């Protein structure tokens, strides 16, 4: 195995690592979403362009994380691996949740399909996994399960485990943001204040993990990295500290943006309640007059 060239924009394109299963999944999701939008349009109904743009952006993030040179560098640089992780586990799920795919599927489906889909969404296993507290724990705690156990090195050495870890982080991220963004139907509809609290409580997870990795003086998966050709012999600890800083920064930024979205939703909800109350009051006054 030859060492990759120093990471750059050019090398991220030229050293692309195409992964057929991931590519097939991304293409399938994109095609199904477009078919749903077209079906609604054929029925004379419009789907939000902003939601379509958000979902498409999430798929683009997944393409970059799994099909570009970032995936190739993720096997030899901890910093690149972290970039993969935050893209697959945080950024993409947040954008996909803003696309409201389950709502689109329900609106574009026939009545029998809607009934079966809602039955699945409200089934006991799905209700358990999508409970806000469970989703929050899965989203945060599994980070430590990867980086502070032998699982991280195993994921580098075994391609099957590597893809399973990616699938796990994608699913847990999607479940978490699905629960807190709340655009799609969920079994546990929680108050906006609790949603905001859960989002803000994800920030310490990434901050603590990033800090722990930055101050550590022992590289993760040392035996793997020392026997793997690295770009320009990039120092292990320096690269680990770079990745830790990236995890901290992107984790905080994603949490803050998601919190801002929930806050805007909360304000819009309160505004709708206020307008309805005003309308009822005006109606009552008009009836009395």
Distance CA 149, CA 153 (A): 8
Q: Scanning the structure block, which residue is given the tokens 């109904």? A: 45
Distance CA 107, CA 40 (A): 7
Structure tokens at 15: 């050293």
Closest CA to 167 of 155, 179, 177: 155
CA–CA separation, 148 and 96 (whole Å):
28
Structure confidence at residue 35 (pLDDT): 95
Task: Let me know: does 225 contact 155? Beta carbons within 8 Å.
Answer: no
Residue 288's pLDDT is: 54
Band the pLDDT of 110: cuts 50, 70, 90. Answer: confident
Q: Please tell me the distance from the alpha carbon of residue 201 to that of residue 243, in angstroms, as a whole number.
A: 21
| Averaged pLDDT of the chain | 86
Token match 């970032």: residue? 70
Residue 15 pLDDT exceeds 90:
no
Neighbours of 198 (CB within 10 A): 22
Q: How confident is the model at residue 84 (pLDDT cuts 50, 70, 90)?
A: very high
Our CA angle for 277, 278, 284, nearest 5°, is 90
Q: pLDDT tens for residues 229-281?
A: 877 666 889 999 999 999 989 988 998 999 999 999 889 888 877 777 656 66
């Amino acid at each position: 195995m030859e060492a990759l060239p120093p990471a750059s924009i050019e090398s991220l394109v030229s050293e692309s690592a195409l992964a057929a299963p991931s590519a097939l999944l991304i293409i399938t999701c994109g095609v199904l979403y477009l078919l749903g939008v077209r079906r609604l349009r054929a029925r004379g109904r419009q789907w939000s362009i902003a939601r379509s743009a958000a979902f498409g952006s999430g798929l683009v993030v997944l393409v970059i994380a799994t099909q570009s040179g970032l995936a190739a560098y993720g096997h030899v640089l901890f910093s690149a691996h972290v970039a993969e992780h935050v893209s697959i586990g945080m950024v993409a799920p947040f954008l996909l949740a803003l696309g409201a795919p389950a709502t689109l599927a329900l609106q574009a489906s026939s009545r029998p399909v809607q009934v079966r889909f809602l039955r699945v969404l409200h089934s006991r296993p799905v209700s358990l996994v999508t409970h806000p507290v469970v989703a929050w724990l899965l989203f945060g705690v599994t980070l430590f399960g990867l980086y502070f156990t032998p699982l991280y090195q195993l994921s580098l050495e075994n391609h099957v485990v590597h893809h399973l870890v990616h699938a796990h982080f994608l699913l847990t991220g999607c479940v978490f943001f699905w629960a807190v963004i709340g655009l799609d139907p969920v079994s546990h509809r929680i108050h906006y204040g609790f949603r905001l609290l859960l989002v803000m409580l994800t920030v310490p997870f990434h901050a603590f993990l990033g800090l722990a990795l930055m101050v550590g003086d022992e590289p993760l998966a040392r035996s793997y990295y020392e026997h793997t050709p690295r770009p320009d012999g990039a120092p292990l600890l320096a690269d680990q500290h770079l990745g830790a800083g990236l995890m901290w920064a992107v984790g905080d930024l994603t949490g803050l943006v998601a919190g801002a979205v929930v806050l805007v939703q909360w304000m819009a909800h309160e505004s709708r309640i206020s307008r309805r109350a005003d309308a009822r009051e005006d109606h009552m006054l008009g009836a009395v007059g």
